[in-house]
Amino acid sequence: MKLPICNFDAKNTVLCPKCESNVEAGIITKADADASIILAKLARSNSIIDKFSLYSCKEFNGNYVLSLAKNDIMAI
């Protein structure tokens, strides 16, 4: 799985100092981190999701819009 945050962080639901500073600097968004953590949790029980590439996540009115690789969308 390719994510905006470290895979270790996504699987352990805690951001390392590097990823935390990327959020604080605006390089990635809190939505990117949240979606990465959620996808990593879902990937534990779904091998298709484990192959996804999340490029970014935007939050609009409390909903997430995910930017995934084209092949990932086709798998859904």
Residue 16: pLDDT band with limits 50, 70, 90: very high
* Contact criterion met (CB below 8 Å) for 32 and 57: yes
Q: Is residue 48 in some structural domain?
A: yes
pLDDT for 75 beyond 90: no
Residue 46 lies in domain: 7-67
pLDDT at position 43, please? 95
Distance CA 25, CA 21 (A): 6
pLDDT in tens, 19-69: 999 999 999 999 999 999 999 999 999 999 999 999 999 999 999 999 999
Give how many domains the chain has, as a whole number: 1
Helix axes 30-43, 17-24, angle to 10 degrees: 140
Q: Is residue 76 in some structural domain?
A: no
Q: Taking the complete model, does pTM exceed 0.85, yes or no?
A: yes
